[in-house]
Structure 1
Amino acid sequence: MIVSSEDELDKLKAIGRLCARAVDLMGKSLEPGITTKELDDIGRRLLEENGAQSAPEFCYQFPGATCISVNEEVAHGIPGDRVIQAGDLVNIDVSAVKDGFFGDTGSSFAVPPVKREIEKLVRDGRRALWTGLQQVKTGKPMAGIGNAIGTFAKKNRYTLITNLASHGVGRSLHEEPSELPTWPDPDETRTMEEGLVFTVEPFLSLGATWAEDGGNGDPWTLYGDPRAPTVQFEHTIVVTRNGPLILTLAE
């Protein structure tokens, strides 16, 4: 969507902030022994107490309020009875709707103690996101986001998942611009418009380049191909002449 009024912007900020608060609270609740279902319940409670509804449930009948992906899982992990262990790599992805507007954000967390390479991967995953965000500005090419993230990944000897893209968001969870690459893509020729709302969400990995289903009867959870530790960090933004207005900050 293109933001056309202060009222629309205020509602986008409200749901974005709420999604960010859910990720923040769930991240702080991560500890060995908690199940992913218990973690999901924490996020659900915060959303519902503030008048919001889980977007994956609302839009797709996803079996959980949030997506929680652990270790070998790259995205769309289903909350359940899996018990979090010390050393786990956990991605928490929260999207929700309130007053007809959607927000979408996510972060990856390492449950200590973890290997040094995992600590570095988490830190660099956040850096990759901000590298992409720095390319957001009215009139600039959308391809600049993926090109910058690709340069960062190559320089630091990481790979990128190249079939999980950023996307437009606002009046619905997934809308135009669709399939916005966070990797170098010579076919990406679009330009960023003032007021355009979309996510930036690179998937940085220690070797995976593709996300695929596990073929185990679970139609949701995606795994890296080849299997490798992978992190995702995501913000929802509005394009402005001064750069990105980030909607999904907890404060």
Structure 2
Amino acid sequence: MDVLVFVLQSILCLLTLPLHLLALLGFWQPIWRKYFPYLMAVLSRKTNQKIEGKKRNLFSQIKKLTGASGKVTLLELGCGTGANFEFYPAGCRVTCLDPNPHFEKFLTESMAKNKHLQYEKFLVAPGEDMSQVADESMDVVVCTLVLCTVQSPRKVLQEIQRVLRPGGIFFFWEHVAEPLGSWALLWQEVVEPTWKHIGDGCYLTRETWKELERAKFSDLQLEWQPSLIKWLPVGPHIMGMAVK
């Protein structure tokens, strides 16, 4: 099986050789980071249409964390275009963090459409180093379709636990690897080296649920969901929440 994956990977890399050469020479990422937000703006709208009910149900639980002030401090990690803003309850004070500064234009537009939220600031930083966010300063951390792109999911989860207050909640929705030994997983393994350049560093074969279990939150609730677009190599999804 490993030999077959290697052969098919090599064929696909040859077919997409210009892309790999641009990436190797350091030209691809600066160009793609600038235009990737436009692609995400389109995909996010389509995705929200498909799982609107599930997102509303998940994020409705944020209301439980509202204190006497009626406010909730919320950090969205890998915020992208702000596709989740419409699902957050009123009273959220939202801090956005993303390593790609080109998303800020879209975030400003999203916040202008969601007056029920208070926009705090936009931080340009990777999830592995959220040093600009103070310890135990957040009631909520949200991360959707982000842990597939980071360099170290383990470090990101450690940072999430650091910035969450005791009893704070981490909400997530991520795509993960197909079942071990399946043809679908083989297809993911074949496509992954090329897909990472298209998906802004996205890994298709991550077993993110294992990282969540190892993080040892006090409570972890996780639901499995099928892939949204069957013809893409993006596998099943996990959605849920973890309590610090």
Work out which structure has the larger RCO, using CA pairs closer than 8 Å and 6 or more positions apart in sequence.
1
The structure carrying a bigger strand percent of its residues is: 1
Alignment TM-score, normalising by the size of structure 1: 0.30
Alignment TM-score, normalising by the size of structure 2: 0.31
Q: Which is higher, the Rg of structure 1 or of structure 2?
A: 2
The structure carrying a bigger helix percent of its residues is: 2
